[in-house]
């Protein structure tokens, strides 16, 4: 077995909104954790509240990190967060940098999501449309809870409003004022590589005609959803993955921000039905090698 991904510290995978570890036999990190393990890495996928604020999710993550350190004997962990999982990981690193060796944001809304802004404007929480959307999200969460075979901990709290507000531009701006570690000083730039002993990295994708609308994505309903969601973007119109803007995703060292991947392709969903030329698993394996080379 190769040891190219055998990092010094365990890789902890943190899911985004409505995230999970495994639904029956379907993994959130489809094929990714297995590929990293085959290449020598210690990989742990964690569960936090599927619908809640980044701070609440971050506190849950900190508790899980402490368990992982006790279980593995490791001194620190490498956090890899997808979507809101990136904000969750950033919070944990800001609060306890002594426990975190690195934070990697994968399609993280590090400056907010224009989709969340659109929903905030057109589906306010106190409106009929807002209440219907909240009901729909609760229903999805309940069904996922019934199908969940990857989490055996205590029931996690849900706050749909707090979760949504945590992803708006205004909500993330407040978050960034409190936890600025790794953020670029200029829009579209790189952030500091290291803050308080924690390394920061990011990568993301964009919808690209001829690539992300071809290949196996033709059979993928989530890609069609991302294309619909992308129509709500104004500042980063044509420069988003359907849910997060290209430049909004920047954090620390930007490995890449225009891979031919929609917001779900980037973690190899759905069931690996990704677009033409997309290799999301390779990005994770390469990044594990990058962390290993950095002594992490």
**How far apart are the C-alpha atoms of 238 and 228, rounded to whole Å?**
12
Q: Which residue has the tokens 């059979």?
A: 219
Is residue 259 helix, strand or coil? strand
Phi and psi at 180, nearest 5°, equal -85, 0
Contact 163, 17 (CB under 8 A): yes
Q: Which residue has the tokens 């990011």?
A: 202
Q: 210: left (phi > 0), else alpha (psi -120 to 50), else beta?
A: left
Tokens for 64?
């899980």
Contact 13, 45 (CB under 8 A): yes
**How far apart are the C-alpha atoms of 221 and 276, rounded to whole Å?**
16
Contact 262, 253 (CB under 8 A): no
Q: Which residues are catalytic?
A: 83, 241, 263
Tokens for 143?
């069904």
Contact 209, 201 (CB under 8 A): no
**How far apart are the C-alpha atoms of 192 and 195, rounded to whole Å?**
7
């Amino acid at each position: 077995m190769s040891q190219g991904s055998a990092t010094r510290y365990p890789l902890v995978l943190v899911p985004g909104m409505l995230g999970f570890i495994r639904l029956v036999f379907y993994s959130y990190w489809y094929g990714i954790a297995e590929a990293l393990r085959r290449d020598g890495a210690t990989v742990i996928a964690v569960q936090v509240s599927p619908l809640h604020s980044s701070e609440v999710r971050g506190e849950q993550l900190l508790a899980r990190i402490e368990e992982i350190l006790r279980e593995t004997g490791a001194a620190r962990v490498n956090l890899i967060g997808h979507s809101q999982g990136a904000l969750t990981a950033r919070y944990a690193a800001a609060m306890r940098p002594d426990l975190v060796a690195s934070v990697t944001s994968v399609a993280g809304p590090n400056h907010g999501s224009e989709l969340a802004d659109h929903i905030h404007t057109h589906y306010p929480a106190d409106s009929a449309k807002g209440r219907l959307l909240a009901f729909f999200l609760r229903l999805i969460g309940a069904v996922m809870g019934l199908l969940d075979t990857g989490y055996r901990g205590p029931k996690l709290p849900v706050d749909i409003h707090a979760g949504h507000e945590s992803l708006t531009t205004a909500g993330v701006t407040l978050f960034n004022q409190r936890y600025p570690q790794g953020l670029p000083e200029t829009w579209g730039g790189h952030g500091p590589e290291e803050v308080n002993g924690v390394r920061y990295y990011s990568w993301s994708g964009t919808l690209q005609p001829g690539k992300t609308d071809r290949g196996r994505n033709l059979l993928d309903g989530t890609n069609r959803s991302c294309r619909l969601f992308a129509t709500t973007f104004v500042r980063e119109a044509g420069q988003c993955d359907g849910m997060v803007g290209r430049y909004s995703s920047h954090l620390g060292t930007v490995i890449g921000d225009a891979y031919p991947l929609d917001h779900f392709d980037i973690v190899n969903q759905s069931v690996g039905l990704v677009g033409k030329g997309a290799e999301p698993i390779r990005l994770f394996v390469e990044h594990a090698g990058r962390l290993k080379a950095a002594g992490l």
